[in-house]
Structure 1
Amino acid sequence: MKTIKGPGIHLAQFSDARSPFDQLATIADWAGKLGFKALQIPAWDQRLFDVRKAAESQTYCDEIVGVLAAHGLAVSELTTHIFGQLVAVHPAYDAMCDAFAPAELRGNTAARSEWALQQIKLAAKASRRLGLTEMGTFSGSFLWPYFFPFPQRPERLVEAAFDELARRWKPVLDACDEEGVNLCYELHPSEDLHDGVSFEMLLERVGGHNRCRILYDPSHFVLQQLKYLDFIDIYHERIGMFHVKDAEFNPSGRQGIYGGYRSWIDRAGRFRSLGDGQVDFRSIFSKFAQYDFGGWATLEWECCLKDQEDGAREGAAFIVDHTIRVTDKIFDDFAGTPLSTAQTNKILGIS
C-alpha cells in the first residue's frame, strides 16, 4: 500500500507581480516555510517557468529542481490548463479566451488552437526532463453553451463535438505516451469534460488511451451535486492527480446549481478554503488510501471569503492532518493461527 504524498500547492492562484510571488525561488521559500513539500507549477506562467526552455534543456530543468530542493521542495506536476482551454473554444467565448494566447495569434482561432496543442506537447517533454509522470490540463469546450437542452440540441451535435475533441487531443495523448506522462483532465464545469459521463465519451473516442487520466477535484462535484466519493470507486484506476479544494452548496428558494448570475460570494455553490466548506475529506483520503493512490495531495486555493495566504497556511496543516500513513500490518494478525494443510482440511471436513 502507498501513502499519499503531500502537502503540495498549486501556484496558479498565488503567482503575482509582487514579491515573493513573482519568482520561483522566492515563492518556493515562502511555500517551504509554510510546510509544503512540493510545488505544482503552471506551465503557462512565464514569471515562474519557461516551458519551451524546459522542453529543450535538461540543464534548465536540473536548475529548477535544485532551486526547489534548496527549500525542501520538489516539483509535483506541471499544469497546462490555460493551454488546454484553447484547444477547443466555442465562438461565444472566443474574445475572452484570446487573452490567453500570444498577441500575434489573437483573432486566429485555428492558429491559436495549434499553438496551444504544441505548448502542451512541450510541457510533456518538460515533465519527462523533470522526472514527472502526471500532467494536468483542461479539455476546452465546444458544447458548454448547450449543456441545458432547450431548445433541444440538434441531432448529433454532441457526437460531432466529441469527435472533434478526440481528433485534437489524440495526438497530444500519443505525444504524452512517448514521454511517459499521463495527461490528467480536470473535470470542471465549463469544460466539455466535466463529469464521469463526459470523460467516458472522450475516452471511448481515443480508444481507451492509457494516458487519458483524471485530475480529481471534489469541489467541482459539490457544485454539480455529483457523488464525489462514488466517483473514486468508479474511476480510481484513471485518477492520476488530486486537487484538495473545498466547496459548499447552500440552495435557497431563490437559487440553486445555476447561481442566478450572482457573483461568487452570493452563489448557492461557492469555493471555500480547506475546512471551511462541506467536502468530506476524511472519507476522500480514506478512499485514496484504500485504492493505493500514491500521487500528491495538492492544495488549490480558491475562496471567495478568506485571504489566500491564510488559506495556504491553514491548508498545508489541513492536508498533513488528513494524510493517512498506511499500515503494513493487519490489525487482527495477533490472533492468527498457522495451520498445516491437513489441519485446514480437517476444519473444513475435507477428507
Structure 2
Amino acid sequence: MKITAVETIAIAIPYVSPWRNRHTEEAGKPMANLETTILKVHTDDGLIGIGEAEGDDVPGLVATRLAPMLEGKDPLQIEALLTDVEAAFGPSTILAGIDFALHDIVGKALSAPVYQLLGGKFRDKVPLAWTIAYRSLEEQIVDAREHVEQGFTNVLKMKVGVAGDLERVLRVAEIAGDIPIRPDSNMGHDKATSIKQTLEMKANGVKIELLEDPSPSNWDDYQEISETADEGISVHAGWKSLSDLAGIMAAGKSGIRCVNIMPTTWGIRRTAQIAGALECAGIGWTMGTSHDSGIKSAASLHLATAIRNHVYPVDINGPLLRVGDVLKDPLKLEAGFGVASDSPGLGVELDEDALREYAV
C-alpha cells in the first residue's frame, strides 16, 4: 500500500457560546469558532485515513512540505513516517494530524479499532470531566447545574485565574456537592495567590481533585503549593518538550500527580509513549482536549480506553460545545462517560455535507 495524496479542507465550526478563559479575557477576544483543517490521507488501496490539524498555515505546509514527504510511502510504517514528520515539524498539530490519519489507515487495513493497536481495552468506558468556561456567574451556575443533571459527576473543571474566580468556584461547589472540582488557572496566579485561594476553597468545603497549572511552572513552587495546600498538581501548559517532561519526572516530590498531554500536539503514538514514561515515574495523566472536533476527540477516546495509567477524567467536551461537527454519527459522550468505537480505525466517518457547510 502507498500514500497517493494528502488532502486538506479548512473549516470553522461556531461555538454555541463563545469560549472564554483567562487568555481570551486578557486578549478581549472570546473564541467564536473552532478553526481547523481536516486531513484526508489517500492510498492506492482505496483506504482513506482522516486527521485534523489546527493553524492558519496548515494547508500550505501540507501542500508544499508534508505531502511530498509522504506520497509514495507505506502508511503502515507509522514509526518511520512519524520520525520523518517530527524531524521536519517537531511536536505540532501537523505531526498529530498525520498520526491520527495513519492510525486510522492501519486500523482499517487490519479491521481493528485504534485502541486494539494500543493493546486492547483496559476500560470499557472513559470517565469524563466537564469544563466550565469563564462566563458570568449566573451562566456558570446554569452550566454546572445542567451538566451535573446530565451525569457529568466525575469532575467539574473550572477556569479560574481571573477577577472574582474564588466566588465563582464557591458557588459552583454548592451545586457540585461531593463532585470534585479541578481549578485551572492557566498559570494565571502567582504562588502566594494560588496557595491562599486553595486554602480558602478548602476552608469553605470545596472538594478539590487536582490543581491544574496553579502558577507559572516552577517545580520548587509547585512543591510548596502542594505541600502547603495539601493538594496534588496537574501540569498542562507548563511543559512543551520532552526535556520539560524529564524535568517533571526528575522533580520527585514536587506534588505533581498528573501530566496533561496534548494528543493534538503529540499524536496517538507519542502520547502513548509519554504515558508509559510517566507510569515509570509513578505519575498519572490525562489529556487536554476541550476544544477538539469529533476526529481528535475520537483519537483521545481510543488512547484513554487502552492505556492503564490514564487515571484522571478527561475533558472531551468539544463536540458538545459547538453547533455541529463533521462526523456522520456523533461520538458516544453521555452521562459523564465516553465510549470508543469498535469499528476499524478511529471508527468515525466524515459527513461530506457538513464539511461543505463549515468549509472556509
Measured against the shorter chain, the TM-score band is 0.3 to 0.5
- More helix by percentage: 1
Bigger-Rg structure (1/2):
1
- More strand by percentage: 2
